[in-house]
């Protein structure tokens, strides 16, 4: 459903675009979850985050750190992050999202 990033070492998890934190929660399977709303049509979700440095309602800029890589029961990585993108309520491939003109996703 998304892209799994993993490494032998901890890494910072960064905001892909400006946005507002909608939800921060713990999931037994997915680990710590941070959901960001970028506009009414575009949301991103980061799974398996440790050391979360944001809270619901925070308005953040692209490139800001939201936490560090962590562990979930899905990723099988001690330093991983699963990343999903939702556009108009439907999952889109993050690899395609990276190449899109985000100004058209309003």
Task: Tell me how far CA of residue 41 lies from CA of 66, 80, 103, in angstroms.
Answer: 21, 27, 11
- In this prediction, residue 75 has a pLDDT band, given cuts at 50, 70 and 90, of low
64 with 15: CB under 8 angstroms? Answer: yes
The residue-averaged pLDDT of 54-65 equals: 97
Q: What is the pTM of this model?
A: 0.89
Q: pLDDT tens, 6-57?
A: 888 999 999 999 999 999 999 988 889 999 999 989 999 999 999 999 999 9
């Amino acid at each position: 459903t998304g892209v799994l990033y993993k490494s032998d070492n901890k890494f910072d998890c960064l905001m892909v675009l400006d946005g507002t934190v909608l939800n921060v929660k713990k999931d037994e399977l997915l680990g710590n979850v941070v959901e960001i709303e970028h506009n009414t049509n575009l949301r991103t979700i980061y799974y398996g985050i440790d050391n979360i440095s944001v809270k619901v309602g925070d308005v953040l800029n692209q490139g800001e750190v939201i936490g560090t890589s962590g562990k979930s029961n899905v990723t099988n990585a001690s330093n991983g992050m699963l990343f999903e993108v939702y556009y108009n309520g439907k999952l889109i491939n993050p690899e395609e999202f990276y190449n899109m003109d985000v100004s058209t996703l309003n």
